[in-house]
Chain A
């Protein structure tokens, strides 16, 4: 197969400016250590090579922002909150009522700490990624798959605690399944459960990564048409500028939507584990 798109300034010069710019974009969106050129193969699994990367840097910043937001919000707790406290309360109320209680019923409030953590972690990371120099901490598979696996472990633990290991496994076969179908149903359920952390992780990663690639591509169109001015540029420039503005707004929407979807699916999975014996 042909070599990957040459990265401008990294290894050799690319043939045309567009390819070079897109190569540079994907290079900047890849996981790079803060110090040094790039990660060696296998570094991801090597604890000795642990280093801060561009993504972990912004991820830590986003987590600190969550802490600051809630510490400021809870500092002067009053019956009628105002300012940042009001915002924090609205956010907490939304997660507690519209996600936990709506999906799991009154007992869902018990799982608010877990789901709230996920929601605000993902939300702040996604939103921070929309501030130009920052990268979304959720825009890399490392973060999103870790959350996917945490969710998988937690909801299965809840299911086993509630129904017992045998009862939980038994619930994988819906009642009323004919005997010969039972092994297949069991296998199908196992596959669908195994896919859950994968889809959770990929959904969040793909949305953030693809969104930033799109923003970057239209920014590149703007920059290149300004630089190499041609007649085609007269059409491409305003179009890509408008697309840039529209996509930026859309990305803000996606940032909130993905945080919502991630936490609501977590709630749905926990709910399924809680009521496993009923269906």
Chain B
């Protein structure tokens, strides 16, 4: 019982944990395109900052990924 619940929890942890970062990555990309359209000469710097922010948002999704692995191992 605990085993099957932990598998369910693993799936939920990753799935639900990916919602927030997904929205965040969408917002980051969208806003960067907006900013780049407004000021094309800033494109290089904006892109660098965008990738840094993407990395931060992604890290949150990955915490769910790790948690899923941890939960999957619970017997």
Contact = CB atoms under 8 A, between A and B. Distances in A.
B48 A98 contact: yes
Nearest to A97: B44
Interface residues of A, number: 17
Contacts, number: 43
A261 interface: yes
Contacts of A206: 62, 65
B2 A268 contact: no
Given A1-B6, A2-B3, A203 B58 contact: yes
A183 B54 CA distance: 29
A199 interface: yes
B interface, size bucket:
20 to 34
Given A1-B3, A1-B6, A264 B51 contact: yes
Given A202-B66, A203-B55, A203-B62, A1 B48 contact: no
Interface string A185-221: 0000000000100110011001000000000000000
B28 to A, nearest CB: 13
B48 A264 contact: yes
Q: Chain B's interface: helix, strand, loop or mixed, by majority? A: helix
A268 B51 CA distance: 11
A103 B52 CA distance: 10
Given A102-B44, A202-B66, A261 B51 contact: yes
Contacts of B62: 199, 202-203, 206
Nearest to B6: A1
Contact of B4 (A1, A198, A261): A1
B59 interface: yes
A260 interface: yes
B65 A1 contact: no
A261 B59 CA distance: 11
Nearest to A99: B48
Contact of B51 (A198, A202, A203, A260): A260
B37 interface: no
B64 to A, nearest CB: 10
A195 B44 CA distance: 28
A206 B7 CA distance: 19
B38 interface: no
Interface in B19-59: 44-45, 48, 51-52, 54-55, 58-59
19 contacts: A1-B74, A102-B45, A102-B48, A198-B66, A199-B59, A199-B63, A202-B59, A202-B65, A203-B55, A203-B58, A206-B65, A257-B51, A261-B51, A261-B55, A264-B48, A264-B51, A264-B52, A264-B55, A265-B55
